[in-house]
Amino acid sequence: MKKIIILLTISTLSSSAIAQESSWFDSLKSFVGMGEVKEQSVTLPSTAGLVEQLTSSLNVNTEQAAGGMGAIFNYVKSNVSTEQFGQLAKSLPGVDGLVSQMPDISELSSGKGLSGLLDKASQYSDSLKSINDIKKQFEALGLDPEMISSFVSSAQSYLDTAQGQDAKQVLTQGLGKLLG
Protein backbone atom coordinates (compact mmCIF):
# COMPACT_ATOMS: atom_id res chain seq x y z
CA MET A 1 0.00 0.00 0.00
CA LYS A 2 2.87 2.32 0.89
CA LYS A 3 4.44 1.66 -2.52
CA ILE A 4 1.20 2.59 -4.32
CA ILE A 5 0.96 5.91 -2.48
CA ILE A 6 4.59 6.70 -3.26
CA LEU A 7 4.07 5.83 -6.94
CA LEU A 8 0.92 7.97 -7.15
CA THR A 9 2.70 10.89 -5.48
CA ILE A 10 5.70 10.64 -7.83
CA SER A 11 3.41 10.34 -10.85
CA THR A 12 1.37 13.40 -9.79
CA LEU A 13 4.47 15.49 -9.13
CA SER A 14 6.00 14.48 -12.45
CA SER A 15 2.98 15.44 -14.48
CA SER A 16 2.59 18.77 -12.69
CA ALA A 17 6.28 19.50 -13.25
CA ILE A 18 5.87 18.72 -16.95
CA ALA A 19 2.79 20.93 -17.09
CA GLN A 20 4.69 23.77 -15.44
CA GLU A 21 7.67 23.21 -17.70
CA SER A 22 5.41 23.32 -20.76
CA SER A 23 3.75 26.48 -19.50
CA TRP A 24 7.15 28.03 -18.80
CA PHE A 25 8.40 27.02 -22.22
CA ASP A 26 5.29 28.43 -23.92
CA SER A 27 5.78 31.69 -22.03
CA LEU A 28 9.37 31.88 -23.19
CA LYS A 29 8.37 31.18 -26.81
CA SER A 30 5.72 33.91 -26.66
CA PHE A 31 8.21 36.33 -25.16
CA VAL A 32 10.65 35.88 -28.05
CA GLY A 33 7.87 35.94 -30.63
CA MET A 34 7.84 32.25 -31.43
CA GLY A 35 4.64 31.36 -29.61
CA GLU A 36 1.31 30.55 -31.14
CA VAL A 37 -0.15 33.51 -32.92
CA LYS A 38 -3.67 34.04 -31.73
CA GLU A 39 -5.91 35.42 -34.42
CA GLN A 40 -7.30 38.81 -33.66
CA SER A 41 -10.92 39.15 -34.47
CA VAL A 42 -11.39 41.61 -37.29
CA THR A 43 -14.78 43.24 -37.39
CA LEU A 44 -15.83 43.75 -40.97
CA PRO A 45 -18.10 46.69 -41.69
CA SER A 46 -21.75 45.77 -42.07
CA THR A 47 -24.95 47.67 -42.68
CA ALA A 48 -26.26 46.31 -39.37
CA GLY A 49 -23.24 47.77 -37.59
CA LEU A 50 -23.68 51.06 -39.43
CA VAL A 51 -27.37 51.30 -38.47
CA GLU A 52 -26.44 50.48 -34.87
CA GLN A 53 -23.83 53.25 -34.86
CA LEU A 54 -26.34 55.75 -36.27
CA THR A 55 -28.99 54.88 -33.68
CA SER A 56 -26.57 55.27 -30.80
CA SER A 57 -24.67 58.33 -31.99
CA LEU A 58 -27.51 60.33 -33.56
CA ASN A 59 -30.39 59.41 -31.25
CA VAL A 60 -32.59 58.08 -34.05
CA ASN A 61 -34.56 54.85 -34.19
CA THR A 62 -33.63 51.85 -36.34
CA GLU A 63 -36.20 52.67 -39.04
CA GLN A 64 -34.93 56.24 -39.34
CA ALA A 65 -31.29 55.11 -39.43
CA ALA A 66 -31.93 52.45 -42.09
CA GLY A 67 -34.20 54.67 -44.19
CA GLY A 68 -31.87 57.67 -43.96
CA MET A 69 -28.81 55.65 -44.97
CA GLY A 70 -30.88 54.00 -47.71
CA ALA A 71 -31.69 57.45 -49.09
CA ILE A 72 -28.02 58.45 -48.91
CA PHE A 73 -26.84 55.23 -50.59
CA ASN A 74 -29.50 55.68 -53.29
CA TYR A 75 -28.10 59.16 -53.94
CA VAL A 76 -24.59 57.68 -54.13
CA LYS A 77 -25.85 54.98 -56.52
CA SER A 78 -27.07 57.65 -58.94
CA ASN A 79 -23.74 59.50 -58.82
CA VAL A 80 -21.20 56.70 -59.31
CA SER A 81 -20.70 54.03 -61.93
CA THR A 82 -22.34 50.62 -61.65
CA GLU A 83 -18.90 49.09 -61.00
CA GLN A 84 -18.19 51.55 -58.18
CA PHE A 85 -21.54 50.91 -56.52
CA GLY A 86 -20.89 47.17 -56.89
CA GLN A 87 -17.59 47.71 -55.10
CA LEU A 88 -19.43 49.56 -52.33
CA ALA A 89 -21.98 46.75 -52.03
CA LYS A 90 -19.17 44.19 -51.87
CA SER A 91 -17.30 46.17 -49.20
CA LEU A 92 -20.46 46.81 -47.19
CA PRO A 93 -22.88 43.92 -47.71
CA GLY A 94 -26.54 44.82 -47.31
CA VAL A 95 -26.42 48.23 -48.99
CA ASP A 96 -29.18 47.25 -51.42
CA GLY A 97 -31.30 46.24 -48.43
CA LEU A 98 -30.91 49.72 -46.96
CA VAL A 99 -31.80 51.34 -50.28
CA SER A 100 -35.03 49.34 -50.28
CA GLN A 101 -35.87 50.79 -46.83
CA MET A 102 -35.83 54.42 -47.91
CA PRO A 103 -39.29 55.99 -47.80
CA ASP A 104 -41.39 56.33 -50.94
CA ILE A 105 -41.90 60.01 -51.63
CA SER A 106 -43.68 59.70 -54.95
CA GLU A 107 -47.05 60.58 -53.41
CA LEU A 108 -45.84 63.66 -51.52
CA SER A 109 -47.21 66.95 -52.71
CA SER A 110 -45.08 69.96 -53.47
CA GLY A 111 -44.28 72.12 -50.50
CA LYS A 112 -44.91 75.83 -50.06
CA GLY A 113 -42.40 78.61 -49.80
CA LEU A 114 -38.73 77.70 -50.24
CA SER A 115 -39.57 74.00 -50.36
CA GLY A 116 -41.99 74.64 -53.23
CA LEU A 117 -39.32 76.59 -55.11
CA LEU A 118 -36.90 73.69 -54.72
CA ASP A 119 -39.61 71.35 -56.04
CA LYS A 120 -40.07 73.56 -59.11
CA ALA A 121 -36.34 73.95 -59.71
CA SER A 122 -35.78 70.21 -59.38
CA GLN A 123 -37.98 69.67 -62.44
CA TYR A 124 -35.21 71.20 -64.56
CA SER A 125 -32.11 69.69 -62.95
CA ASP A 126 -31.38 66.04 -62.17
CA SER A 127 -28.86 67.13 -59.54
CA LEU A 128 -31.39 69.35 -57.78
CA LYS A 129 -34.01 66.60 -58.06
CA SER A 130 -31.71 64.10 -56.31
CA ILE A 131 -30.93 66.58 -53.54
CA ASN A 132 -34.62 67.46 -53.16
CA ASP A 133 -35.54 63.75 -53.03
CA ILE A 134 -33.08 62.97 -50.25
CA LYS A 135 -34.35 66.00 -48.32
CA LYS A 136 -37.94 64.80 -48.68
CA GLN A 137 -36.98 61.25 -47.68
CA PHE A 138 -35.46 62.53 -44.46
CA GLU A 139 -38.58 64.59 -43.77
CA ALA A 140 -40.79 61.52 -44.44
CA LEU A 141 -38.77 59.65 -41.80
CA GLY A 142 -39.42 62.45 -39.30
CA LEU A 143 -35.83 63.66 -39.55
CA ASP A 144 -34.62 67.20 -40.06
CA PRO A 145 -32.90 67.42 -43.48
CA GLU A 146 -30.01 69.13 -41.72
CA MET A 147 -29.23 65.70 -40.25
CA ILE A 148 -28.07 64.45 -43.65
CA SER A 149 -24.56 65.72 -42.95
CA SER A 150 -24.58 64.05 -39.51
CA PHE A 151 -25.58 60.74 -41.13
CA VAL A 152 -22.79 61.10 -43.68
CA SER A 153 -20.18 62.00 -41.05
CA SER A 154 -21.21 59.10 -38.85
CA ALA A 155 -21.12 56.68 -41.80
CA GLN A 156 -17.67 57.89 -42.85
CA SER A 157 -16.46 57.52 -39.27
CA TYR A 158 -17.88 53.99 -39.11
CA LEU A 159 -16.11 53.07 -42.35
CA ASP A 160 -12.81 54.60 -41.25
CA THR A 161 -11.13 51.21 -40.80
CA ALA A 162 -8.76 49.23 -42.98
CA GLN A 163 -11.66 47.02 -44.06
CA GLY A 164 -14.03 49.94 -44.71
CA GLN A 165 -11.78 52.16 -46.84
CA ASP A 166 -13.16 50.99 -50.21
CA ALA A 167 -16.74 51.63 -49.11
CA LYS A 168 -15.80 54.99 -47.57
CA GLN A 169 -14.07 56.09 -50.77
CA VAL A 170 -17.09 55.29 -52.98
CA LEU A 171 -19.48 56.86 -50.44
CA THR A 172 -17.45 60.07 -50.32
CA GLN A 173 -17.07 60.23 -54.11
CA GLY A 174 -20.79 59.63 -54.66
CA LEU A 175 -21.73 62.36 -52.20
CA GLY A 176 -19.53 64.96 -53.88
CA LYS A 177 -22.37 67.17 -55.16
CA LEU A 178 -24.42 66.81 -51.99
CA LEU A 179 -21.56 67.82 -49.71
CA GLY A 180 -19.84 70.28 -52.03
**Span 20-54, pLDDT tens digits:** 445 555 654 554 455 555 554 557 789 999 999 99
User: Distances from the Cα of 12 to the Cαs of 7, 9, 22, in angstroms?
Assistant: 9, 5, 15
Choose among 92, 83, 110: nearest CA to 160.
92
How far the first Cα of the chain sits from its last, in Å, is 90
**Mean pLDDT along residues 59-79:** 95
Say how far apart CA 163 and CA 171 lie, in whole Å.
Answer: 14
Average pLDDT (115-126) is 52
